[in-house]
Structure 1
Amino acid sequence: MTKDSGDLLAVYLNDHLAGAAAGVELLRRAARGGRDQEASRQLHDLADEVTEDRAALMEIMRELDIRPRRSRIVLGLLGERAGRLKTNGHLLSRSDLSDVLELEVMRLGVEGKACCWRTLRELADTDPRLNPRRLDHLLRRAETQIACLEGLRAQAAVATFRAAEPQTS
């Protein structure tokens, strides 16, 4: 790995670390604010898994001698908070649309994390500091998380957008 590619990998992994911090925050907030108890439980479990994934990424970064950049993590958390200012049809409160949009953002975040694990898995073929089996496990877990979030997203979208039943006179 050249110095330039090592620097680029450090930026890449720090960006994913910032995304993980924001993702955990969003998952925990969505779990607390959810109207569906089962969905809230699933989001809480996902937040715990993403916390573990973030710890795994930090361990991988240590093994690669890449220092976490606190400023990137803070920017990720600020970005998550700024995302709360989206228009959702309600000025100060959550709406059903909030659930749909947040689940879409969470899914996109986990898709990005899966891409990171795939990238590291490719690098593991030539970098003995990377453990291919651990990366395979993390990638499988990300794929399971994507499936869970897609199920929750689809459920929230149907509940939010289904047409009102016609009134009979």
Structure 2
Amino acid sequence: MHRKALNIYLNDHLAGATSGVELCRRIARTHRSSARAGELRALAEDIAQDRQTLLEVMDSLEITPHRYKIYVGWAAEKVARLKPNGRVLRRSGLSTLIELETLRLGIQGKHHLWRALRHVAPESDHFDTSRLQGLMDRATNQMETVDSLHDTAARAVLSRGGG
């Protein structure tokens, strides 16, 4: 196991996970009265649990989370809110599309993280390959949920009959 590379890799993913949790919670809050609010809340909770799992993995490997990367991940999500959306004071439906696309990319990255850790599993007593497979399956389900939410939002925002 190349500890230095693993340290950097896991801390980079922790920064991304921090941003992803913030983004998904904000999407869920923004759409709390939508027909799919329950799915969004569950997705936000799952993503927060995955971040906690990453912290547990890091702890089991005695890898210290770099606070500055956590703060950068948190701040990146806040800065991303400043994107121009064609409106000055209100959210645009386009914001939802872009946010869901960003979230999807983050979940895909997380899937690759769990997949990459399978290569470390034989060198460590800290990884259960069946648990890693479960985390990959959960990420796949999360991507499917986000894809479905994105399809719904795209219909509503981009099609003539949608909104």
TM-score of the aligned structures, taking structure 1 as reference length: 0.90
Match runs of 1:70-89 below 5 Å: 70-89=67-86
| Corresponding residue SS for 2:64 | coil
State whether structure 2 residue 47 is matched by structure 1 residue 50.
Answer: yes
Q: Percentage identity across aligned positions?
A: 42
Gaps of 5+ in 1: none
| Corresponding residue SS for 1:55 | helix
Deviation for aligned residue 1:47: 0.8
Gaps of 5+ in 2: none
Residue by residue over 1:108-129, the C-alpha shift from the partner in whole angstroms, topping out at 9 and shown as x without a partner, is 1100000000001222133222
Q: How many residues align?
A: 162
AA paired with 1:83? A
Change (3 A) 1:43 1:164: closer
CA contact (8 A) 1:14 1:68 kept: yes
| Corresponding residue SS for 2:120 | helix
Max radius of gyration: which structure? 1
Change (3 A) 1:114 1:95: same
| Corresponding residue SS for 2:126 | coil
AA paired with 1:148? T
Deviation for aligned residue 1:35: 6.9
| Corresponding residue SS for 1:53 | helix
1:6 to 3, 7, 24: 3
Partner of 2:61: 64
AA paired with 1:56? T
Change (3 A) 1:35 1:67: closer
Partner of 1:134: 131
State whether structure 2 residue 99 is matched by structure 1 residue 102.
Answer: yes
TM-score of the aligned structures, taking structure 2 as reference length: 0.93
